[in-house]
Amino acid sequence: MANNELVFPVPDQWKRSAWMDETTYRKAYERSLREPDEFWAEQAQSLNWVQRPTEIRDVSFVPGELRIRWFGDGVLNASVNCVDRHLHDGARPAIIWESDDPAESRTISYAELHADVCRLANGLKALGVDKGDRVMIYLPMVPEAAVAMLACARIGAIHSVVFAGFSPDALAGRIQDCKPRILITADEGVRAGRRLPMKANADQALRQCPGVKTCIVLRRTGAPTSWTEGRDLWYHSLIERQPSSCEPEPMGAEDPLFILYTSGSTGKPKGVLHTTGGYLLAASLTHKFVLDYHPGDVFWCTADIGWVTGHSYIVYGPLANGATTVMFEGVPSHPDSGRFWQVVDKHRVSIFYTSPTAIRSLMRDGELPVRRSSRASLRLLGTVGEPINPEAWLWYYNVVGQARCPIVDTWWQTETGAIVIAPLPGAIATKPGSATLPFFGVEPVIVDEQGHLLEGECEGMLCLRDGGPGMLRTIYRDPGRFLETYFSAFPGLYFTGDGARRDADGYYWITGRVDDVVNVSGHRLGTVEVESALAAHPKVVEAAVVGYPHALKGQGIYAFVTLQGDVQPSAALLRDLEQWVRKEIGPIAVPDAIQWAPNLPKTRSGKIMRRLLRKIAASQASDLGDISTLADASVLDDLVVGHRTIA
């Protein structure tokens, strides 16, 4: 691979305009590890502090002394950093909202954003929300979602955003874990011309969550909605009486900013907790250096606010830098697959950040929808969410970027809070498929199964010796799981759950998850979560779920399902199971393939041998490897015969 690798050097004009060149990057990177206190004290000056930190870094990944603290004695407010400090130029657009309907968009200036955030912050206070209280946000992609996050930050409430595509049950589970006082939702969402019943979903979830006393409802479509007197409250009535200024709460740098639920290798999603100072610095610095934000840029990250990418690169990073951030309600294929590029032209987007899945799906529709736009405003392209195949990288580079925009492939996770491995576009030559080199303060290492550190060119499991100030601080209300999940496999190291290769130039190539997590179209799901959902169906005895290579989605979900003895498999039951998973978790978790499995391959101690199921799902049944620990090898025959090829 190494000798026929493609390398794209930094373009000449970028060498002039960039924040730094390669030598400067390497020096700064070394210094960030060698003299972290000095380095980060300097970087922290890019934020506005009520009280500048003097304690900079206090981090240990060693299980007995596990702690992650940054800027411990600093005091600041995230909403002041994202809004107030840009008010000297208050007419500058903060958010450009592009509706699902191409005829509709809205621009919100920093001055307007300030007033909106303050009104809602005052409204939340009037409802009794205090510092440290949780507020759950279940909203579609509308500016009020960003306003709600910032309003929480202003008064020190901890927000937890739940993706609008999650089902009522999934929402209820998250509410039960983080116990918010308030839920903020909308009457309906709109996507690809269709309406999503958000309030109805919220009602269903709240039936299981009597602790939530108030539900704030944003009017998005004006559709009639059911109403619970005494609990439900219109967003517009709440804010109309509120003053447009609100004293920001001074927050300790280590005070929580938000909780975001993400999937792990066990059934229950975990509440990843991020704090104020370190997270905000990591999000804003990476937005500046990796996504190369310069004043005047129009920045568009196509993620949903319900994922960490939306938190860091629609809201906190860009707004902390005073950028104009585009927020898109719709989907890339509506009304047609040229939509992204029409929006780029319409709002003169200069930096565009999307997922490999989106690129692959657009590739399928050919070059014509792209060529109908000029894209002259674009100067940088980014990707995130999953490994990008070189073919998609090259299409993105040549067709979308007309071979003039560098591509930054950014590797990170909900847990790292911000980008941790990626090229600085003016400094680092890129290779299609590689996230290249670590950001400041990040020390990646590769280990083998036994935890031995591998040197030089190697392949193994990706860990971090340090992840910089954006790292998660804990799993909300479950420090034991925090320790167990990330720090117990390889003591002294944070285990990412990903495999990776390091090449001769020290570049990292992420090979994908090595744990029981699948990455479907950039959405992260625990296979155990899907298994539990399937097993909860009255006709199912047991299910095993694995990921398999899927041309469009990166990975697809393949489920092996064992039915109750008296139940006959049928096409109707198949559809019923799909519906069931949709209801239990949401559309993103619906299996791409379900195979009836009279029995599952198990070890003598009863553990399902997923390794074998992965091979069968990937059509590699001829290469099952060692099956000597299998209790009953004949089980495999049925499964291999029943394998379904679906991609």
- For residue 313, the minimal CB distance to ligand WT7 (Å) is 9
SS3 6: coil
Cβ-based nearer residue to ligand WT7, 166 or 411 = 411
DSSP 467-513: E-TTS--EETT-HHHHIIIIISSSTTSEEEEEEEEE-TTS-EEEEEE
Residue 451 near residue 462 (C-beta atoms within 8 A): no
C-beta closer to ligand WT7: residue 498 or 584: 498
Cα separation, 433 vs 8, in Å, equals 12
Cβ closer to ligand WT7: 269 or 277? 269
* Nearest distance, CB of residue 418 and ligand WT7, angstroms: 9
How far is 154 from 257, CA to CA, in rounded Å?
Answer: 10
Q: Are the C-beta atoms of 609 and 553 separated by less than 8 Å?
A: no
DSSP 440: T
Nearest of 46, 27, 32 to residue 427 by alpha carbon: 27
Nearer to ligand WT7, 252 or 278 (CB): 278
Least distance to ligand WT7, CB of residue 516, Å: 13
Q: CB-based burial of residue 461 (10 Å sphere; 0-12 exposed, 13-18 middle, 19+ buried)?
A: buried
Choice between 40 and 495, CB closer to ligand WT7 = 495
- How many Cα atoms sit within 13 Å of 612 on the Cβ side? 23
Q: Using the minimum distance from each CB to ligand WT7, give the nearer residue, 122 or 519.
A: 519
Q: Which residues pair with 382 in a beta bridge?
A: 353, 408
Is 523 or 537 the residue whose CB approaches ligand WT7 more closely? 523
Smallest gap, in angstroms, from Cβ of residue 266 to ligand WT7? Answer: 16
Query: Least distance in Å: CB of 304 to ligand WT7?
Result: 10
Q: How far apart are CA 142 and CA 263, in angstroms?
A: 25
| Rg of the chain on CA atoms, in Å | 24
CB 320 within 8 A of CB 284: yes
Query: Which secondary-structure segment (H or E) carries 23?
Result: helix 22-34
Select 255 or 386, whichever has its Cβ closest to ligand WT7.
Answer: 386
| Beta carbon of residue 209, minimum distance to ligand WT7 (angstroms, whole number) | 25
Q: How far is the CB of 437 from ligand WT7 (least distance, A)?
A: 13
Residues found near ligand WT7 in the complex (CB under 6 A): 262, 307-309, 384-387, 409-414, 435, 496-498, 510, 512-513, 519, 524
Closest distance of CB 114 from ligand WT7, Å: 29
Residue type, 314: I
Q: Is 220 helix (H, G, I), strand (E, B) or coil?
A: coil
